[in-house]
A = this chain, B = another copy of it.
Amino acid sequence: MAEETQRSRPPLLCTECVLGLGTAYGPTLRSSPIDIYTRRRSVTEIDAQRTFLREGETPGSIFTLYSGWAYQFKQLSDGRRQILSFLIPGDSIPLEQICAPNHPLPYSVKSLTPLSVCAFDLSSIAETVHATDEQRSHMAGIMADQFTAMHRRLTDLGRRSALGRVAQLILELEQRLRNRQMSENGVFPFPVRQEHIADALGLTTVYVNRVLDRLRQDSVIEFNRSQMTVLDMARLRQIGEEE
């Protein structure tokens, strides 16, 4: 778990991919794994800090992140940047394209760490994913979650203090990682720079540093460059709610 920062490679066969079961196409992978496997175009390695999808493009593939972290962002003309969401192993990118292929991407995607990704043919995956009722409603559920997450983040930016936002972000990441067996007892990989937190939460690096420091002083969290530990989950939740 702790070696999450190192790149690890997906198995040769999707059939044996445990992570796959938790993805957007999980139900299909379970019921007829070969349908997924035959649609895989390639397994690719991507270096850290690479913008591998750009706003405005119309990608023909969809990537499932096997290992490493990435993020979706919008870049303003004068250099300001807004991170829309972080992507962790098991996430598919760009998710919305599965439902609406051939739309130009409304954001760019950049790797945070080295990645291993599986690339699938978008249009045929899009079909697959709407083939069965179970798969369709699973997909709908994922889209609904996506909306809910955006609503939460919007509320954080609009109505919470810096402290509250940081707390909410840590909680969100812990939760998502836990769902995928990547967080245990509040300990999880954390390859995010303070600059990224700032760009995700609408703050400056300096202030994020001060907020993190405060949480550390108060023994709510503990962290270094690659790992975060939530020491006091209840307190962190309370801060997230109240601030």
Residues of A in contact with B (beta carbons under 8 Å apart): 74, 76-78, 80-82, 84, 96, 99-100, 103, 106-107, 137, 140-141, 143-144, 146-148, 150-151, 153-155, 157-159, 199-202, 241-242
Sample of 19 further A-B pairs with CB below 8 A, known A157-B157, A157-B158: A74-B155, A76-B241, A82-B154, A84-B151, A84-B154, A84-B155, A100-B137, A100-B143, A103-B141, A106-B148, A106-B151, A107-B151, A147-B150, A150-B150, A154-B154, A158-B200, A158-B201, A158-B202, A159-B202
User: B151–A153 contact, CB under 8 A?
Assistant: no
- Which among B77, B144, B147, B158 is the interface contact of A82 at CB below 8 angstroms? B158
Q: A106-B148, A158-B157 are in contact. Are A140 and B82 (CB under 8 A)?
A: no
| Interface SS, A side | helix
What number of copies of this chain does the assembly contain? 2
Which chain B positions have C-beta within 8 A of A84?
151, 154-155
Residue among A100, A153, A241 having the largest count of chain B Cβ atoms under 10 Å = A100
- Least CB distance from A201 to B in Å reads 7
- Least CB distance from A153 to B in Å reads 6
Which chain B positions have C-beta within 8 A of A137?
100
Q: A76-B159, A157-B202 are in contact. Are A144 and B241 (CB under 8 A)?
A: no
Distance, CA A225 to CA B210, complexed state (A) = 43
Name A147's closest neighbour in chain B (CB-CB). B96
